[in-house]
Structure 1
C-alpha cells in the first residue's frame, strides 16, 4: 500500500508544500491531458509574504497578489523569476491594488506567462515593464486610469488574442496604437470617454472578431472606421450618443451580432428606417431604447433575434415585419403599443419567443404564430381571457399574464394549450375562477396565482385546476380564497403528488391540515410566512422543516396558542405539549373514562333497581352525570360507582347533599379543578 501511495504521488506530481500565510489555495481538475499532474492550484494572496514563491505548490497555475507596495512587488516578481523552474504550470499572473507605476523589474524571462491581469492598480499609462512578455495571449488592463495609448505600445505582443482596456479614462486613440496586434480577436474599449474613432485606428486588426465600444461618448459611425474588420462577428456600440450611423459602416461580411441599444437620438436620424445592414450572417440586432417610433426595415433576411424594447412604437401594422421572415425572438417590451393588427405577426413562421411586456395592450393579439412557445404579456391592460384568444397555440409552453386588469377568465380559455408548462395569472383583479377553467394544459408544471382576491368560499367551489398531476410549483401567495380551496379540495391534493414548491404565504392561514405531507410526498419548499398560525399539533411540520433546512423557516412564528406566541415554528419538538394542550387532552381522557364507567355501571344499576326505578330515576342518572361533567371538566377522574348508590336512596341534589361521602367527592373535584 505504501508503495502504491508513493507511485501515485509521483504520478500526479503532488507537492507537500502548505498554502502560504495570508493566501487562499484551491485545487481544480486539469482540462487537458497533462501527464505529470491531474489538477492545478490557484493561489490568491492578499498581502506581502517574503520569498512567497518558495512556498508555492509546484502545481500552481494561477497566482494572484494584491495590496503590495512598489518594493514588495519588485521583490515578489524577482523571487518568482528565480524560482520559475519550480513552477512549471504557472501561466496566469494577476496583480491588483498594487503600486506598478515606475516599477524597475525585468520580466522577459517569465516566458510561461500567457495571461496577465493588472486591474485596479490606478495606472495612468501602459506599464512598459510587462509589455515584453512575448508569449502573452491575454492582457487585462481594465479598471485603471489610463488616459493615453502611445504609438505602437503593443508591437512586441505578436501572440496577443485578448486585450481589455475597459473602465479607464481614454478620450482618444491615435492611429498606430494597435500596430502589431495582427492576431488579436477580442478588443474591449467599453466604459471610457471616447468621442470618436480615427479612421485608421482599427486598420491593423484584421483578425478581430469581437469589438466592444459600449458606454462611451461616440456620436457617429462612418463607413471607413470598420472597413478592415472583415472577420468581425460582434459589434457593440450600445449606450453611446450616436445620432448617425452611415449605412455602409455596418455592412460587414462576417457580422452576426449588432448591438445599438441606448442611443436615443439614433431613431430620429434619416437612417433610422434602415438600421440593419446587408451582412448575410447577421442574426441578432438590438435596437432597444434608440428612440424608434416604428419597426425599422432590414436589408437582410437573416435576422433571428430582434430587440426593440424601450422605444415609442404604438402600432404594429401588417407588413412591418416582412423583412424579418426568419425571426425566432421578437422583443417589444416597454413601448407604447396599443394596436397590433390581426395578421401583423401571423407570417412569422419561425417565431418562438415574443415579448409584449409593459405596454398598453387591451386584448391578447390575434393570429399569433403557431410555433410560438413563450408569450410575455405582463403589465398590460388586458381585461379578459376568452376561449378564442389563444386558438391554435398548441405548442405554447410559457404564458405570462400577470399584472394586467383581467377580471374574467372564460371556461376552457386555456383548453387549446396542450403543451403549456408555465402559467402566471398573478396580481389580476379576478374574483371568480370557475372549477375547470384551467382545463387543457395537462402538462402544467408551474402555476402562479398570487395576489388574486377569490371570494368564493372553499366549501362551495373546488380548486380551478382539476388535473395537477405534473404540477411542480404552485404559487398562491396573498390569495387567501385560493389557498383555502386548495387545502380543502382533497381530490386536487391527492392528484398533486409531484408538487415540490407550495407558496401559501400571506393567506390568513391559521390551521394546516395534518395530512398535507401525506398528499404531497415530493414537497421540498413550503412558504407560509405572514400567517397567523396556530401551532397546536404542528410538531410534525416543525420536524419536516428542520430536515429541509431552508433559511426562511426561521422567520415563521407561532401566533397561537398564547403560550407559544412568538415561538419559531421550526423550534417545536415532537411530543411537546403546551399547558393548555395538556389540560385539553386530560379533559378528553376524563370524558372517555366517564363514558366507559357509565356503560359498565348501567347494567349493575338496573339490576339493583329490579324495576323499582322509573323514567324519572333514569333522568336522575343523566342529571348526575351532567353535574359531574360540569364540576370535573379539567382533570381528575370521578368514580361514578360512588354516586350510583345514592340513586337508591333517592338523593337528587348532589350540590346541596348533606351526605359526607358526596360532599367529600365534590371537594376533591374542586381542588383538582383549581
Structure 2
C-alpha cells in the first residue's frame, strides 16, 4: 500500500487502534483519518512518509518511526490534549527541528528522536513541550554539550544520550533539568568531565557513564558527582579508571548522600584501596569484575557495612586469607569470585552468605560448602582443582536427595586423583570417593551409604525375630537377598546357612528356629542389581543374632521356618521409603 486517500476509511467511530506499519506509504491525504474519532493508537512505522500528515486529535500514542521525515514545520500539529507518546526515531530530521516544531502537543510526555542524525541538542524545538517527561536522543551525532544544552525542561525525568559521539561536556550542561531522575551518557567518547557538569541535577538518581574513556571523576579537591545530591546508582563500567580516590564518590558529613549501587567493571584497576570506603558507606551493590585486581587492602570490604552484593570475578586475585583483608560485612548475601587465581579461601568468612560463585579458581573442596548447601545457600564450584575423596560423600548424598540443585554441580569435575581426573562428581560412585590419605575413615559422615538400612528388629517371647528395612541408596537395585551366616559344622568355617531372594517391594520378614550348633549367627540384607549381580554389602546391612536362646535340629529347619511377608508397593512407598 502506497497511499491513503480521503475515502479509504469510512466512519469508524469505535476504532481504538490502527496499524499501518510495514507498507510503502508515501502520502496520507488530508482528512483521510478525520472520521476515526475514537482512535487512540496509530502506527505508520516502517513506511516512506516524508512529512507529517493530519492526525486525529484523539490519539494518545503515535508511531512514526522508520520513515523518511526530514522536517517538522512550525504548527504542524493540531491542538492535541490526549497525545502522550510520540515516536519519531529512525528518520532524517538532522538539525531541521525549529521553534514550534512541537507546538500544540499540550500533554506530550514521551518523545523519541533517536537515530535522526542530530548534531546539536534541539533545545529550541523542545521549549514548547512543557509537559515532557521522557526524552530519547540516543544514536545521534551529538559531539558536545554546552551550558544549558537542553534549555528548561522542568519536569523531564529521563534523558537518554547514549550511542552518540559526545566528547565534551561543559559545566552546567544540564542546567534547567531540575527533576531529572535518570541520565544515560553511555557509549560515547567522553574522556574528561569537568567539575560542575552535573550542577543543578539535585534529583538525579541514576547515572550511566559506561562505555566511555573516562580515567577520573575528580580533580583531587572536588568530585564530579558532588552536585548529585540524590544519586543512588552510577554505572562506570567499560572505562579507563585505574584508581578510586577519596573524591570519586560524593561524601560530606553534613549531606546525607545515599549512593546504593556502583558498577566499576571492565576498567583497569590493579588494587582496591581504602579510598573506596569514602562515599560508599551506604553502598549495597558493588561490581569490580573484569579488572586487573591482584590485591584488596585491609579493612576495605569490612567497612562497606551495608554491602549486599560484591562481584570480584574475572580478576587476578591469588590471596584473600591475610588478617582483616576479607572480613565480609554481615549484610553481604552474594559474593562472586569467579575466574581468579585463588588457591585458598577464608571459608569461615563466607559461610553466612546466600550465594557464592567460586568457579574457575584453583580451590580444593571445603567441607563447609556442604553445610552451606544444606542450609539453603547456593554455591557454584565448577572449574576448581578438587581432590575427590570421601569428604565429598555427604555432598553427593545431599545432591541425590535435592535433585533441583543438581544442575549447579553437573560441571564440577575431579582434578585428582588421576583415576578420577575430569570425571563429573555426579557420575562417580561413593565407593570411588576414597578417603585414602585424608585420614577420615572414622568420621561417619564420610562413610559410604548402605543400599538398605534396618528400620526395626524385634524378638518375641517365642524367639521369633521380625525385621523391617528401607532403601537408602539411589543406585540400581532390583531385588534383595536375605542371608543368614554362621559356622559350618564340618570345618568350622563361616558359611551362608540360608539365602532367600526377595522382591524389591518386600520390606519385612519373620525368622524363627535358629540352628544352635552353628554358633553366633549374622543376618544380612544384600541388594541385587538389574543384571542379577549382588552388590557389595555395607557393614550396616548386617546384624548379629544371638543363637544361644533358640534351639533347633538343623539349619534346614531354619530354612523351612522363614516366613516372608510382602506388603503392597503403595503401602511400602507410603510408610517405609
Q: TM-score normalised by the shorter chain: which range applies?
A: 0.5 to 0.7
The answer to whether the aligner puts 1:352 opposite 2:205 as a matched pair is yes
Q: Tell me, in whole angstroms, the C-alpha distance in 2 between the residues paired with 1:539 and 1:335.
A: 53
Bigger Cα displacement from structure 2, 339-348 vs 327-336: 339-348
Match of 1:518, SS state, is: helix
Q: Equivalent of 1:319, from 172, 175, 181?
A: 172
3-state SS of the aligned residue for 1:439? helix
2:232 to 369, 373, 393: 373
* Structure 2 CA distance for partners of 1:550 and 1:369, relative to 1, 3 Å: farther
Equivalent in the alignment of 1:513: 366
Aligned 8 A contact 2:172 2:200 in 1: no
How far is the alpha carbon of 1:157 from its aligned partner? Answer: 2.2
Q: Distance in 1 between matches of 2:26 and 2:399?
A: 58
The alpha carbon displacement at 1:368 in A equals 4.1
Give the distance between the partners of 2:313 and 2:12, measured in 1 at CA.
58
Write 1 or 2 for the structure with the bigger share of helix.
Answer: 1
Deviations 1:105-130 (A, max 9, x none): xxxxxxxxxxxxxxxxxxxxxxxxxx
Cα offset, 1:475, TM superposition: 1.0
Structure 1 distance, partners of 2:127, 2:324, is: 53
**CA–CA distance in structure 2, aligned partners of residues 556 and 332 of structure 1:** 41
SS in 2 for 1:386: coil
What is the CA deviation profile of residues 153-205 of structure 1, one whole-angstrom value per residue up to 9, with x for unaligned ones?
3324211112222333433322233131111111122223333333xx31xx1
In the alignment, structure 1 residue 401 sits paired with structure 2 residue 264: yes
Provide, for residues 419-472 of structure 1, a one-character-per-residue CA deviation record: whole Å limited to 9, x for no partner. Answer: 2110001111222111211233222111100111124x455x257442331222
1:577 aligns to 2:436 (yes or no) = no
1:315 Cα deviation from its structure 2 partner: 2.4
C-alpha displacement at 1:402, in angstroms?
Answer: 0.7
1:157 aligns with 2:12: yes
Q: Which residue of 2 aligns with 1:67?
A: none
Question: Which deviates further from its counterpart, 347-356 or 552-561?
Answer: 552-561
Contact residue 517 and residue 523 of structure 1 kept, 8 A: no
Distance 1:522 1:189, change over 3 A: farther
Residue in structure 2 matched with residue 176 of structure 1 by the alignment? 31
Counterpart among 78, 88, 111 of residue 227 in structure 1: 78
Flag the structure with more relative contact order, 1 or 2, with Cα contacts below 8 A and sequence separation at least 6: 2
Partner of 2:287: 424
1:386 counterpart residue number: 245
- Tell me which protein shows more strand as a share of its residues: 2
Cα gap change, 1:380 to 1:292, in 2 (>3 Å): same
Task: State the shift of 1:503 in Å.
Answer: 1.0
Q: How far, CA to CA, are the matches of 2:370 and 2:306 in structure 1? A: 23
Report what 2:532 is aligned to: none
Cα distance in 1 between the residues matched to 2:328 and 2:423: 37
- Is 1:557 the counterpart of 2:413? The answer is yes
2:98 aligned with 1:246, yes or no?
Answer: yes
The 8 Å contact of residues 556 and 568 in structure 1, kept in 2 or not, is answered as yes
Distance across 2 between alignment mates of 1:155 and 1:540:
76
1:471 pairs, out of 332, 335, 347, with 332
> Post-superposition shift, 1:513?
0.8
Which among 278, 284, 305 is matched to residue 134 of structure 2?
284
1:498-509 equivalences in 2 (<5 Å): 499-509=353-363
List gaps (5 residues or longer) in structure 2. Answer: 443-577
* Cα contact 2:186–2:209 (8 A) shared by 1: yes
Q: Tell me, yes or no, if structure 1 residue 208 matches structure 2 residue 59.
A: yes
Equivalent position of 1:646 in the other structure:
none
Q: Deviations over 1:342-379 (max 9, x none)?
A: 12224311111111111111113412412100011111
| 1:364 alignment partner in structure 2 | 217
Question: Equivalences for 1:652-663 in 2 at 5 Å?
Answer: none
Say which SS state the counterpart of residue 247 (structure 1) adopts.
coil
How far apart in 1 are the matches of 2:274 and 2:373?
A: 28
**Paired residues, number:** 424
CA distance in 1 between partners of 2:406 and 2:161 (Å): 40
Deviations 1:46-99 (A, max 9, x none): xxxxxxxxxxxxxxxxxxxxxxxxxxxxxxxxxxxxxxxxxxxxxxxxxxxxxx
Distance 1:585 1:340 in 2: 58
2:232·2:261 contact (CA, 8 Å) conserved in 1?
yes
Q: Which moved more, 1:396-405 or 1:164-173?
A: 164-173
Alpha-carbon distance between aligned partners in 2 of 1:209 and 1:588, rounded to the nearest angstrom:
75
Structure 2 contact 74–101 (Cα < 8 Å) conserved: yes
SS in 1 for 2:144: coil
- SS across alignment from 1:516: helix
Identify which of 259, 267, 274 aligns with 2:119.
Answer: 267
Give the Cα separation in 1 of the matches to 2:208 and 2:426.
42
Report the counterpart of residue 133 of structure 1 in structure 2: none
Where structure 1 has 5 or more consecutive residues not aligned to the other structure, the ranges are 1-145, 590-674
Moved more, 245-254 or 411-420: 411-420
SS state at 1:155 partner = coil
Instruction: Name the TM-score, length of structure 1 as normaliser.
Output: 0.58
Distance 2:375 2:75 in 1: 62
- 1:255 offset after TM fit, Å? 0.9
Match of 2:424 in 1: 568
Compute the RMSD of aligned alpha carbons. 2.7
Distance 1:587 1:554 in 2: 26
